[in-house]
Amino acid sequence: MQIRYCGALSTLLLAANCVLAAYPERAIRIIVPYAPGGNIDITARTIAPGMSEALGQQVVIDNRGGAGGTLGADIAAKSAPDGYTLLLGSSGTISTAPPLYPKLGYDPIKDFAATSLVSNVPLVLEAHPSIPAKTVKEFIVLAKTRPGRITMGSSGAGTTNHLSGELFQSATGTKFIHVPYKGSGPGLVDLMGGQIDIFFDQLSASIGFIQAGRLRGLAVTTAKRATAMPELPTIAESGIPGFDASTWTAILLPAATPQDIVLKVHAALIKTLRAKATRDSFARLGAETLDSTPEEATRFMKEDLAKWTRVVREAGIKLE
């Protein structure tokens, strides 16, 4: 009986190892917690083909917008830890949402297993061409003559877009009407249509519209100018010293995902990010590709979460 039991146990362990070794056996989804058309969505669609090739299975995009990205992130955190559901996490869902939403349904660090960082993108303060301001300084003067009348779109309450706008108001003494969307895609449509006045959007999602003259870029939010649009000044050099904000992304899995699977996804992602075609695609969008170990990505997320928690607390930013 003991021999048969051990034999059965060995068979089960062998079967389990075979299942693990066979991963992936079907399509994999990347949850994008925003509507199609925005920076996070574009980032996911940029890396999906390369990851599909590296993993030997189709990698599909599953847009789950709502609640400033926290709805999709919560779905991903609670998904089966089998490697078939990934999350394209970002500064919005991992770093800025937690201090703004104390009752989040997920822990941004404990509930996810990181693979690697993916990209870093500057935001751009952009306006509808009808706004009579061509520089940040001119816009601040205009906004102060229209207190509470300038409408500012965002990809959702609590997102990096929203928080950057709140910091701008705090730093300049201006006051906007916040109009949240389920992603920057719908917000950009309304911005170009003149339904809203300004947007702090990721350069990757807006660069084409700015270059086409459909939107007016005033400045980027990073400490240095963006290589894709070096003609745009930074907000810091436009009279608000120290202003620095950007959007980073990372591929995450549910925390209980087996390490072997995490490492397989990591290897596929790194191969994709180091491909010239991927780097060129991100460069055209004004984005910088990043790659890291799971440990480095986790450490980065912890540090960024601490940074934005401190910023939210010191600026006294609260969601209405």
Interval 2-16 mean pLDDT: 43
Percent of the chain with pLDDT strictly greater than 90: 74
pLDDT for residue 245 is more than 60: yes
For residue 311, what pLDDT is reported? Answer: 84
Q: How far apart are CA 87 and CA 142, in angstroms?
A: 40
pLDDT for residue 131 is more than 50: yes
**What is the distance in angstroms between the CA of the first residue and the CA of the last residue of the chain?**
67
Helix (H, G, I), strand (E, B) or coil at 316: coil
Q: How many CB atoms lie within 10 A of CB 293?
A: 14
Interval 39-58 mean pLDDT: 97
Interval 174-182 mean pLDDT: 93
Instruction: Give the best-scoring range by mean pLDDT among 14-18, 19-23, 74-78, 221-225.
Output: 74-78
- Fold observed for domain 2-121+247-315: D-Maltodextrin-Binding Protein; domain 2 (3.40.190)
State the pLDDT confidence band at 8, using cuts at 50, 70 and 90: very low
Do the domains 122-238 and 2-121+247-315 match in fold? yes
Calculate the average pLDDT of the chain. Answer: 91
Q: How far apart are CA 72 and CA 252, in angstroms?
A: 12
pLDDT for residue 284 is more than 90: no
Which CATH number does 122-238 carry? 3.40.190.10
Residue 106 is classified by DSSP as: S
Look up residue 29 and give its two tokens: 């989804």
pLDDT for residue 88 is more than 60: yes
pLDDT in tens, 202-214: 998 899 999 999 9
For residue 225, what pLDDT is reported? Answer: 92
H-helix segments, the chain: 2-22, 39-55, 70-77, 97-100, 136-145, 160-172, 184-192, 203-211, 259-273, 276-284, 294-315
For residue 263, what pLDDT is reported? Answer: 98
- Phi/psi region, residue 40 (left: phi>0; alpha: psi -120 to 50; beta: rest), is alpha
Q: Where are the domains of the chain?
A: 2-121+247-315, 122-238
Comparing 25-29, 152-156, 269-273, the range with the smallest average pLDDT is 152-156
